[in-house]
């Protein structure tokens, strides 16, 4: 399914709510991160990164936000990246898209707040995932050395943050970016 297609996003939300009931929480976690210097990067790869990492997320959020506004409740979480805060050579389109998500969080929380819908971002650092599996041992060790907790993060580190932001304990937290990076960006 192409979530960058407005109709596909709306149809997906409609199908989910028909089969499972109202959506209370949305976690946007789609991302690609082609590696390469911007000066030599293929234009298609740049556009695809923005389409997947930013545009598709905004379109899916748009479809869910309409329903949350009517119900006057909900949680929206954008999965960003610490790279939106620190930058990283070779990941300019990815950094731009993730920084765009964080800007959207700050703006959207103002649109959704009166309906008691919170909008936040989680900005993970380096995690043990498919996206970091291709990292060479030398680069992996450099990242670990720069991380005060001395390890790469695990998916559970991020899911714990998401569970918190979805909970009632986080009902007064909106427009924020929660960095989950073991202190790397401190």
**How far apart, in whole angstroms, are the C-alpha atoms of residue 148 and residue 167?**
28
Tell me the C-alpha distance between 101 and 86, whole Å: 15
Q: Where are the beta strands (DSSP E) in the chain?
A: 25-28, 74-79, 117-124, 177-180
Domain assignment present for 21: yes
What pTM was estimated for this model as a whole?
Answer: 0.93
- Residue 185 lies inside a defined structural domain of this protein: no
Q: Is residue 65 one of the residues assigned to a domain?
A: yes
Q: DSSP assignment of 13-27, as one string?
A: HHHHHHHH----EEE
The reported pLDDT for the residue numbered 140 is: 87
Q: Is residue 110, in this structure, part of any structural domain at all?
A: yes
Residue 12 · residue 59 · CB < 8 Å = no
Domain annotation covers residue 186: no
Which residues constitute the domain of residue 164?
6-180
Q: Considering the domain boundaries, does residue 52 fall inside one?
A: yes
pLDDT of 7: 83
123 within 8 A of 178, measured Cβ to Cβ: yes
Residue 1 lies in a domain: no
Quick check: is 162 in a domain? yes
Q: Are 54 and 103 in contact (CB under 8 A)?
A: no
Residue ranges with strand state E in 68-164 = 74-79, 117-124
Model pLDDT, residue 137: 86
pLDDT at 13: 95
76: exposed, middle or buried (Cβ count in 10 Å: 0-12, 13-18, 19+): buried
Number of domains in the chain: 1
- At residue 15, the pLDDT reads 96
Distance CA 142, CA 135 (A): 11
Query: At 11, which CATH number?
Result: 3.40.50.720
For the chain (length 186 residues), average pLDDT per consecutive 10? 78 96 96 92 95 95 97 98 93 97 99 98 93 82 93 97 98 98 94
Does the active-site annotation cover 94? yes
Q: CA 99, 1, 43: angle at the middle one, nearest 5?
A: 50
**Active-site residue (options: 77, 94, 123, 179):** 94
């Amino acid at each position: 399914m192409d979530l960058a297609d407005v109709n596909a996003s709306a149809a997906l939300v409609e199908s989910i709510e028909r089969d499972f009931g109202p959506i209370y929480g949305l976690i946007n976690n789609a991302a690609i991160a082609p590696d390469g210097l911007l000066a030599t990067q293929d234009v298609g790869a740049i556009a695809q990164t923005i389409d997947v990492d930013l545009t598709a997320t905004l379109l899916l959020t748009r479809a869910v936000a309409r329903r949350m506004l009517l119900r006057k409740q909900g949680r929206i979480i954008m999965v960003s990246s610490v790279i939106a805060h620190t930058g990283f050579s070779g990941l300019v389109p990815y950094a731009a898209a993730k920084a765009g998500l964080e800007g959207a969080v700050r703006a959207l929380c103002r649109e959704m707040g009166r309906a008691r819908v919170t909008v936040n971002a989680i900005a993970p650092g380096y995690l043990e995932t498919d996206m970091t599996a291709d990292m060479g041992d030398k680069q992996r060790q450099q990242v670990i050395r720069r991380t005060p907790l001395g390890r790469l993060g695990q998916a559970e580190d991020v899911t714990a943050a998401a569970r918190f932001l979805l909970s009632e304990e986080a009902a007064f937290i909106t427009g924020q970016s929660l960095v989950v990076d073991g202190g790397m960006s401190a």
